[in-house]
């Protein structure tokens, strides 16, 4: 079969196509069609020639096959040290082989490459820091994902995910109308406790523009309210955007670079339109990677920077605590042992380890580091989109074991995970392995520990009295 | 035999050196030419100075034995690796026999190591190669990865050490050891730009690129220090 009706080289561009693909529950028909999907070798080879340049080719060529990347890979460690889980083997037998064969590969090869690119690598980039030659296999797997996506070999959920970005400008079916409604509803709800609290929308020239993850309005609207409460507490002049509010990119996990560009352009357009002094993103790792770290390149910004200074939530929070704009009640600090998950996307790949440690120093009395940590930390096990792919659920659940053991070794039962992907992975880890742990974002913890300034207390009392 | 010796220490050597240095320089230049800020997603030029710092750190840290997480994690390999690489870099430049050839070609003497030191480093390097080979065969994850090319490259790089040592110590069959030494060493020089031995130059390029990537794009602004390799 040249191209399937669901599984094909065309990205999802319309709501109708998206709904049709969604209706194929679990991608049963989709994956069936994939088994017959044609590989256009000429197209594949011309793509490789155009985009696989000296950095990647050199990586593939000079790999000394020393296996120093083996131990660095969380998949290798939990899969009985299977030699086929060594990063160098995984990339050489997929992308390396594809290039050596000048694109003359068959359907089975492509499906195996897909299983490796999404089911055996979370693009955490840890192996790259263990290679004497500086070969970043995570970067290559991300590149391979793009090639596979263009050829139609992409996990069902991620084809949907990138389609969501193309159709709704968000990773989920949250329209701008839904989004604005959710914010209004959250403002009303939160006002009961925080009378003067506002969730400002489309305010030009505010100090701060806040962007977030579509899951928040869709599934955890209280997270939007919590962000508003903390801005309110800190006395921040802030706003959100009715368009360009969604910071995440399932398209990045899918390797749909055009959708990546479209998505991040929405956010940058909002920045240009509202001209904030600073943009702050929510507690999400890949959203930060997509919009702050990689995004400038997708839209072709030569300086590699977003249109305005753009920071992660933990950077803002560390600053607020440092400057005393949010104060922690010493009596309410976390007394029990608590540990912290370092997100690969903003710690190894954006250097923010110090910020989260600084936050911990203000809020925890018994903070326990995982080992290893910071830049050297292991992936939660669900990164790179793996959390969301049904086809690789078994692989994902196994991949959680490294994090499980790291958490157990700290002796802590509370894990702070300022990243949506890590948060999900740790939640699933508890479900799968039942350690009796709890996990949390920073926002709800900070709110529960913060000192409420007198003027806000007075407003709350007035509000109660009037009612 | 004499003619062959004269050829291998004269024009043959010059050609081999030209191919080696010219070829590796070309590989390095082509590497830089093939970098693409949009595809690599690294703004090399606008943040060049910051990038260079990261590049230097990324190379420097990996040149120190046990200087990185990676080296510390594989102590056995690290010892073999540095013993071998120290030998293959230092010996060709500082062995007394080579100084004689250099004098013939250049007309002046170069400093050289006392023979005992040269022997010591040669044996260390051969021992290092032995460790690397043993590890490649013994560890399933490395064995599974290895292709004939990996064994061939190690063999090709070790042959000049072994034959050079035997010739310098005047082992029986001296003439043949010497010949094997010159042929294998010149073959190595000529093949270097076209095989995995190109890492002699490309190691620095690749390490520099990743160093720039981490310092320009992946957190250099926030980390406060260079990437903790």
Domains in chain B, number: 1
* Contact flag B40-A55 (C-beta cutoff 8 Å): yes
In a domain, A67, yes or no: yes
Same domain, A357 and A310: no
Q: Per-residue pLDDT for A149 more than 90?
A: yes
Q: Is residue A439 part of a domain?
A: yes
Cβ–Cβ of B205/A58 closer than 8 Å?
yes
CA distance A276 to A463: 31
Last residue in a domain, options A154, A183, A199: A154
Determine, yes or no, domain membership for B150.
yes
Residue A13 lies in a domain: no
Average pLDDT score, chain A: 96
Size of interface A-B (CB pairs under 8 A): 159
- Residues of chain A in contact with residue B70, where contact means CB-CB under 8 angstroms, are 68, 72, 129-132
Average pLDDT on B138-143 reads 97
Across the interface, whether the CB atoms of B39 and A53 are under 8 A apart is answered: yes
Instruction: pLDDT band for A456, please (50, 70, 90 cuts).
Output: confident
Convert the pLDDT of each residue in A25-48 to its tens digit: 999 999 999 999 999 999 999 999
Enclosing domain of residue B177:
2-223
Average pLDDT over residues B118-135: 97
Residues A338 and A311 in one domain: no
Are A178 and A301 in a shared domain? yes
> Please, which residues bridge with residue A310 across strands?
A279
Average pLDDT, stretch A260-276? Answer: 98
- Averaged pLDDT for residues B47-61: 97
What is the mean pLDDT of the segment spanning A225-234? 97
pLDDT of B129 over the 90 cut? yes
**Does some domain include residue B34?**
yes
Residue A163 within a domain:
no
Are residue A441 and residue A381 in the same domain, yes or no? yes
Contact residues for B12 (Cβ-Cβ < 8 A; gap 6+):
B182, B186
Whether residues A182 and A303 share a domain: the answer is yes
pLDDT at residue A464, as a whole number: 60
Q: Which residue has the higher pLDDT, A363 or B100?
A: A363
Most distant CA pair in chain A, distance = 77
pTM: predicted TM-score of the whole model, two decimal places: 0.96
Is B210 inside a domain boundary? yes
Query: Are A309 and A348 part of one and the same domain?
Result: no
Instruction: Say yes or no: A259 and A377 in one domain.
Output: no
Query: Do A360 and A437 have their domain in common?
Result: yes
Query: Which of A230-260 are b and which e, b meaning 16 or more Cβ less than 10 Å from the residue's Cβ?
Result: bbbbbebebbbbeebbbbbbbbbbbbbbbbb
Assigned domain for A408 exists: yes
- Report the chain B residue with the minimal C-alpha distance to residue A293: B217
Q: Read off the pLDDT of each residue in B27-41 and give the average, rounded to a whole number.
A: 97
CATH of the domain at B217: 1.20.950
What span, in angstroms and rounded, lies between the C-alpha atoms of A226 and A245? Answer: 16
| Alpha-carbon distance values, B102 to B23, B99, B108 (Å) | 21, 5, 7
Q: Which of residues 31-90 of A touch B (CB under 8 A)?
A: 51, 53-55, 57-59, 61-62, 64-68, 70-72, 76, 81, 83-84, 86, 88-89
Question: Residue A277 pLDDT > 80, yes or no?
Answer: yes
Q: Are A379 and A454 in contact (CB under 8 A)?
A: no
- pLDDT of A78 above 90: yes
C-beta atoms of A130 and B211 within 8 A: no
Q: What is the CATH number of the domain that holds A337?
A: 3.40.50
| pLDDT for position B224 | 83
**Residue A1, pLDDT score:** 57
Is there a single domain that holds both residue A184 and residue A225?
A: yes
* DSSP state letters, B148-182: HHHHHHHHHHHHHHHHHHHHHTT-SSHHHHHHHHH
CA A42 distance to own-chain centroid: 34
Domain encompassing residue A296: 168-319
Q: Is residue B128 part of a domain?
A: yes
Judge whether A28 lies within some domain. Answer: no
A132 and B70 within 8 Å at the Cβ level: the answer is yes
Task: Read off the pLDDT band of A233 (50, 70, 90).
Answer: very high
Check CB contact of B122 with chain A, cutoff 8 Å: no
Q: Pick the closest to residue B149 from A92, A91, A65 (CA basis).
A: A65
For chain B, how far is it from start to end, CA to CA, in angstroms?
Answer: 51
Res A154: pLDDT: 98
| Residue A461 forms part of a structural domain | no
Last residue of a domain, one of A319, A346, A367: A319
Least confident window among A165-174, B30-39, B98-107: B98-107
Nearest to A53 among B34, B58, B145 (CB): B34
Instruction: Report yes or no on B44 lying in a domain.
Output: yes
Place of tokens 């190109």: B198
Given a contact cutoff of 8 angstroms between Cβ atoms, the answer to whether B160 and B117 are in contact is no
pLDDT at A262 over 60: yes
Domain of residue A74, CATH code: 1.10.1060
Determine the longest span between alpha carbons in chain B, in angstroms: 64
Distance between CA atoms of residues B148 and A261, nearest Å = 42
Is residue B219 one of the residues assigned to a domain? yes
Within a domain: residue B12? yes
Of B199, B205, B222, the CB nearest to A64: B199
Provide, rounded to the nearest whole percent, the portion of chain A with pLDDT above 90: 95
What is the interface pTM, i.e. ipTM, of the complex? 0.96
Looking at the structure, tell me whether residues A261 and A342 fall in a common domain: no
Per CB-CB distance under 8 Å, the chain B contacts of A130 are 69-70, 73
In a domain, B211, yes or no: yes
Q: How many domains does chain A have?
A: 3
The confidence score (pLDDT) of residue A460 equals 67
Does residue A434 belong to any structural domain of this protein? yes
Same domain, A415 and A438: yes
Place of tokens 């368009």: A243
- Cβ atoms A167, A120 nearer than 8 A: no
């Amino acid at each position: 079969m040249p191209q399937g009706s669901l599984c094909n080289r065309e990205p999802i561009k319309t709501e109708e196509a998206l709904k049709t693909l969604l209706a194929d529950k679990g991608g049963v028909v989709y994956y069936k069609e994939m088994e017959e999907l044609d590989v256009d070798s000429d197209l594949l080879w011309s793509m490789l020639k155009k985009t696989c340049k000296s950095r990647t080719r050199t990586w593939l060529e000079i790999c000394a096959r020393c296996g120093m990347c083996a131990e660095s890979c969380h998949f290798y460690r939990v899969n009985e040290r299977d030699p086929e889980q060594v990063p160098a083997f995984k990339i050489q037998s997929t992308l390396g082989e594809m290039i050596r064969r000048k694109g003359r590969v068959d359907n089975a090869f492509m499906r195996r490459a897909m299983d490796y690119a999404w089911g055996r690598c979370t693009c955490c980039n840890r192996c790259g820091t263990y290679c004497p030659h500086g070969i970043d296999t995570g970067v290559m797997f991300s590149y391979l994902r793009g090639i596979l996506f263009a050829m139609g070999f992409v996990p069902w959920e991620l084809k949907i995910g990138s389609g969501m970005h193309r159709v709704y400008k968000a990773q989920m079916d949250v329209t701008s109308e839904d989004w604005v409604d959710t914010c209004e509803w959250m403002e009303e709800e939160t006002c009961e406790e925080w009378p003067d609290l506002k969730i400002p929308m489309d305010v030009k020239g505010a100090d701060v523009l806040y962007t977030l993850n579509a899951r928040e309005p869709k599934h955890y609207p209280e997270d939007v309210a919590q962000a508003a409460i903390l801005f309110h507490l800190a006395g921040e002049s802030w706003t959100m955007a009715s368009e360009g509010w969604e910071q995440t990119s399932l398209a990045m996990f899918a390797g749909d670079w055009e959708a990546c560009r479209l998505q991040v352009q929405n956010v940058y357009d909002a920045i240009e339109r509202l001209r904030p002094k600073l943009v702050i993103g929510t507690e999400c790792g890949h959203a930060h990677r997509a919009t702050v770290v990689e995004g400038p390149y997708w839209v072709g910004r030569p300086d590699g920077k977003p249109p305005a200074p753009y920071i992660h939530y933990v950077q803002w929070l560390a600053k607020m605590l440092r400057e005393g704009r949010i104060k922690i009640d010493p009596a309410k600090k976390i007394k029990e042992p608590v540990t912290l998950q370092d997100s690969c996307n903003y710690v190894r790949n954006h250097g923010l380890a110090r910020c989260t440690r600084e936050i911990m120093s203000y809020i925890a009395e018994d903070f326990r580091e995982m080992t290893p940590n910071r830049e050297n930390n292991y992936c939660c096990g669900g990164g790179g989109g793996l959390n969301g792919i049904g086809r690789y659920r078994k692989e994902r659940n196994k991949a959680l074991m490294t994090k499980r053991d790291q958490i157990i070794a700290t002796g802590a039962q509370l894990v702070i995970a300022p990243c949506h992907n890590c948060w999900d992975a740790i939640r699933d880890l508890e479900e799968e392995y039942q350690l009796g742990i709890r996990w949390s974002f920073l926002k709800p913890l900070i709110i529960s520990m913060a000192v409420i300034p007198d003027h806000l207390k007075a407003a709350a009392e007035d509000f109660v009295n009037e009612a | 035999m004499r003619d062959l010796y004269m050829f291998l220490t004269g024009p043959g050597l010059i050609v081999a050196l030209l191919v080696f240095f010219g070829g590796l320089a070309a590989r390095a230049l082509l590497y830089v030419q093939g970098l693409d800020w949009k595809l690599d997603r690294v703004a090399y030029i606008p943040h060049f100075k910051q990038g260079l710092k990261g590049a230097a750190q990324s190379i420097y840290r990996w040149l120190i034995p046990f200087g990185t997480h990676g080296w510390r994690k594989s102590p056995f390999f690290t010892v073999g690796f540095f013993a071998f690489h120290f030998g293959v870099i230092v010996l060709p430049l500082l062995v007394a026999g080579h100084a004689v050839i250099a004098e013939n070609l250049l007309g002046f003497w170069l400093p050289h190591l006392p023979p005992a030191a040269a022997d010591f480093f040669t044996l260390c390097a051969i021992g290092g190669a032995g460790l690397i080979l043993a590890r490649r065969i013994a560890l399933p994850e490395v064995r599974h990865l290895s292709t004939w090319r990996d064994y061939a490259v190690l063999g090709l790089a070790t042959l000049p050490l072994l034959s050079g040592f035997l010739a310098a110590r005047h082992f029986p069959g001296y003439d043949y050891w010497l010949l094997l030494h010159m042929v294998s060493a010149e073959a190595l020089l000529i093949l270097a730009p076209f095989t995995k031995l190109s890492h002699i130059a490309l190691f620095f390029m690749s390490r520099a690129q990743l160093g720039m990537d981490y310092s320009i794009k992946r957190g250099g602004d926030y980390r406060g220090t260079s990437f903790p390799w």
